[in-house]
């Protein structure tokens, strides 16, 4: 009997990835079980890794081993080795899926430093470093969809490095991301060997827009709450179909290139008044990925409704965005702010994790010195 996740993939063409990773999950059979249930990939970010390392002692032995091997090791190197170990183990568990899907799924994502979000060359160098260190064909390096990220995306795709474009909030920037991907393919002598997803963040849009709608305090504004993120994602999917079925991509399609699938991220509902699987059920469609945190994955498996929904209610997404504009709310300004905040939040988690590892390094070094 197929699980709900298998049915979702087979009947609707959507892959479910897990938006979480830690040492226990990958080392003790949890991820293997989820893959058997139909999970087809893994995503991570600095916030997830900070939680994984801060909330457990699972990494302490590895930290001690690394310090024993190099007493001068710094916090950044510790961070890279610990995350690389997790990603390598997860990638190995997903390798059979990567191969059986001919590179369609089976990926694990690892992020470049968020402090490089405005540094194109630094992003490229960091991505090359991670690609070499992880040394797995099913790694995706996460690159933020900032202005500086666009040339980095193009260069990395041209070099055959898989890219998960992250922190994507606006439709105009999404169109730029797709074009950067296509330009990269055109420069790649083997475009069939590289893959990419574009991670469109969903719930954060509603959280920001709903606050503006609340201040308007009108029935019309109230009727738009919880609708703008889904409307934006549905229009993004239509742009995806237009671009990758059109002339811009045709030359690369003939060369064997893959489409750059939209990936729905930030899919846990932040408002308790909303259905807990709202951003899963409303965004089901062909050639898409939805990455779910564990609680949302459990909720969808327990009571999620499974049907293709991205094609439903044609015209409604446009009407919702037109109504938002008519209400005087500037969605472009909100998504620009969300991009800045997204980079800042990941940088904060990244810095907090490095500070935590520095404390652990100091404690272990002091323990050895006194022992």
Rounded to 10 deg, the angle between the 331-370 and 60-69 helix axes is: 60
Torsion of CA 95, 96, 97, 102, to 10 degrees: 90
Does the active-site annotation cover 142? yes
User: What is the secondary structure of 77-107 as a DSSP string?
Assistant: HHHHHHHHHHHHHHHHHHHHHHHHTTTSS-E
Rounded to whole angstroms, the Cα distance separating 41 from 28 reads 17
Q: Which of 142, 270, 345, 360 is catalytic?
A: 142
What contacts 243, CB < 8 A, 6 or more positions away? Answer: 175, 178, 179, 182, 249
Rounded-to-integer distance, Cα 260 and Cα 288, Å: 9
- Rounded to whole angstroms, the Cα distance separating 325 from 328 reads 5
Nearest residue to 113 via CA among 103, 101, 125? 125
DSSP 8-state class, residue 165: E
Residue with tokens 């990638």: 91
List the beta strands (DSSP E) in the chain. 14-19, 41-43, 107-111, 139-144, 163-168, 196-201, 261-265, 288-292
Catalytically active residues, by annotation: 142
């Amino acid at each position: 009997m197929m699980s709900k996740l298998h049915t979702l993939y087979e009947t609707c063409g959507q892959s479910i990835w897990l938006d979480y990773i830690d040492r226990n999950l990958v080392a003790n059979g949890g991820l293997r079980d989820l893959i058997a249930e139909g999970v087809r990939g893994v995503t991570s970010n600095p916030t997830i890794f900070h939680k994984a390392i801060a909330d457990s002692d699972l990494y302490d032995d590895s930290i001690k081993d690394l310090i024993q091997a190099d007493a001068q090791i710094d916090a950044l190197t510790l961070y890279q080795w610990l995350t690389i170990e997790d990603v390598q183990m997860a990638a190995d568990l997903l390798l059979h899926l990567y191969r059986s899907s001919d590179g369609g799924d089976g990926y694990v994502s690892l992020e470049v430093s968020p402090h490089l979000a405005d540094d194109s060359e630094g992003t490229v160098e960091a991505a090359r470093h991670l690609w070499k260190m992880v040394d797995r064909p099913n790694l995706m390096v996460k690159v933020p969809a900032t202005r500086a990220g666009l040339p980095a995306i193009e260069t990395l795709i041209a070099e055959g490095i898989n890219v998960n474009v992250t922190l994507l909030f606006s439709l105009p920037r999404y169109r730029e991301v797709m074009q950067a991907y296509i330009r990269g393919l055109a420069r790649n002598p083997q475009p069939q060997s590289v893959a990419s997803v574009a991670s469109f963040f969903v719930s954060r849009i509603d959280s920001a827009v709903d606050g503006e709608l609340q201040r308007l305090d009108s029935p019309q504004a109230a009727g738009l709450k919880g609708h703008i993120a889904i409307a934006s994602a549905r229009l993004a999917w239509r742009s995806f179909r237009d671009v990758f079925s059109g002339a811009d991509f045709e030359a690369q399609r003939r060369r064997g290139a893959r489409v750059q699938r939209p990936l729905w991220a930030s899919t846990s509902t932040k408002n308790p008044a909303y259905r807990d699987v709202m951003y899963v059920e409303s965004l089901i469609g062909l050639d898409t990925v939805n990455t779910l945190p564990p609680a949302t994955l459990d909720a969808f498996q327990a009571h999620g409704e499974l049907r293709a929904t991205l094609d439903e209610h044609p015209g409604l997404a446009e009407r919702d965005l037109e109504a938002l504009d008519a209400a005087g709310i500037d969605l472009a300004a909100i998504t620009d702010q969300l991009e800045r905040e997204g980079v800042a939040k990941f940088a904060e988690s990244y810095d907090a994790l490095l500070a935590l590892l520095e404390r652990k390094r100091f404690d272990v070094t002091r323990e050895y010195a006194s022992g």
